[in-house]
Amino acid sequence: MPAAVEAALRKLGREMAATAGCGLAERGIKDIPAAFWIAYAEAKLAREQTTCGALAEYTDAGKRYGEAVAKNDDKLLAPIAGLKPYVDGGGAAQKELVDLLATNCPQVLTGGQADPWRVCGLAAKARAEEEARRKAAEPPAPPPPAPACADDLPARAAKRLGYLSQPRHTACKPMPNAPGKSIIALADLAEGIGEGEAGSGDDGSYDVDVLVVDSDTGRVRSRLLLEKAYESDAVRFQGMQIDTARYRLSPKVRAFGVRAEHAVQSHFAAYSTAALSLFVEQGGHLRRVLADLLVYRYSGESGGDCSGSHTEVARTIAIAPTSSQGFADLLVTTTTTELESHSAGRECEEQATTPIVTRNLLHFDGKIYPVPDELRQ
């Protein structure tokens, strides 16, 4: 194309860009040479406007930049050199041009390729930022499921200890601070522990075996047998739960808990409790360092329908900053709530009083944390 003709086209393009809006570019006039549209786009950008899609629709700017990268020849960019200041200028103009010019960028630049206007790099950076924003906007992934004991692990451990039948109550949980180990609690009637001789009833005194075992084999690493630890009569022994909260008693000692649950099964009298004992494993031996702290109690009476009065006591344990005899003191917080329920038409409404909160500090005496009577009820 003669230089005079190209200059005239570029002049006309700049003049037509002065018209507001994108009417001309949207008419689909494909017979006008690219020089006109390049000048038209440059003028629109100079007015801080969009190029109206003129570069993408009527020019080979994107293809041209891809060839310049592939051939490492920035002379190919001479016809569109007027766009470079807007590529460097940031903002909406930069984004529009980068989106267009980077369409033919390779995913990875090889040794024989260049990126004269940094367009390919800017496009890659924009993609990375967009991906980061997308991931940030996604809801957090659910936490992985907590590891669980193999279903038959308590039975295998019981068999290794000489139990001839499955204990009446079992609990098991992996040891979070010791991969490959699991905590097991086995409870059976004292009269026939491990022998299946206790008859069909579940009432009586229960011995409890607390174990640390190899999670894969069931081999017992340490054991503590608590004889006649719990009674089951009118208040039935319901079973146990392993508690692996962060009971960090010293920098090198973390305790775990066993919660024993009891309940009365009655339509008129409600009574259920959970008592916590803490254990530590040291030198291949288990020691109980906290015995039967009542951490939950729900009790009361009802008239058989909705009406009734109940008391709920809940206790939590926190590790205090002070210590006694080498183990951290335990801060026990007790929350007591009185509950009254009554009929309101066909509905049953329950009202709670303002909770009463009290705190106690338990000190290790070298063998155990003594529990005062008021924390056992």
pLDDT band, very low/low/confident/very high, at 196 (cuts 50, 70, 90) = very low
Q: Report whether 311 contacts 300 (CB < 8 A).
A: yes
What is the average per-residue pLDDT within 179-198?
Answer: 76
| CB atoms near residue 22 (< 10 Å) | 15
Residue-wise pLDDT for 100-128, tens only, equals 888 878 766 665 667 888 888 888 888 89
Q: Which residues contact 47 (CB under 8 A, 6 or more apart)?
A: 17, 18
Report whether pLDDT(325) > 70. Answer: yes
Residue-wise pLDDT for 223-240, tens only, equals 999 999 999 998 999 999
- Percentage above 90 pLDDT, the chain: 49
pLDDT band, very low/low/confident/very high, at 193 (cuts 50, 70, 90) = very low
Give the highest mean pLDDT range of 98-112, 182-196, 326-340.
Answer: 326-340
CA dihedral 189, 194, 200, 206 (to 10 degrees): 10
Predicted TM-score of the model (pTM): 0.63
Report whether pLDDT(241) > 70. Answer: yes
Confidence at residue 72, expressed as pLDDT on a 0 to 100 scale: 84
pLDDT band, very low/low/confident/very high, at 202 (cuts 50, 70, 90) = confident
pLDDT band, very low/low/confident/very high, at 198 (cuts 50, 70, 90) = very low
Report whether pLDDT(199) > 70. Answer: no
Give the highest mean pLDDT range of 30-34, 195-199, 371-375.
Answer: 371-375
Cα 329 from Cα 306, distance rounded (Å): 43
Per DSSP (E only), the strands in 233-346 are 236-250, 253-264, 269-282, 285-302, 308-324, 327-344
What is the average per-residue pLDDT within 272-277?
Answer: 96
Q: Is 301 exposed, middle or buried (0-12, 13-18, 19+ CB in 10 A)?
A: middle
What is the average per-residue pLDDT within 56-78?
Answer: 87
Cα 26 from Cα 34, distance rounded (Å): 15
What is the residue-averaged pLDDT of the chain?
Answer: 88
Confidence at residue 372, expressed as pLDDT on a 0 to 100 scale: 96
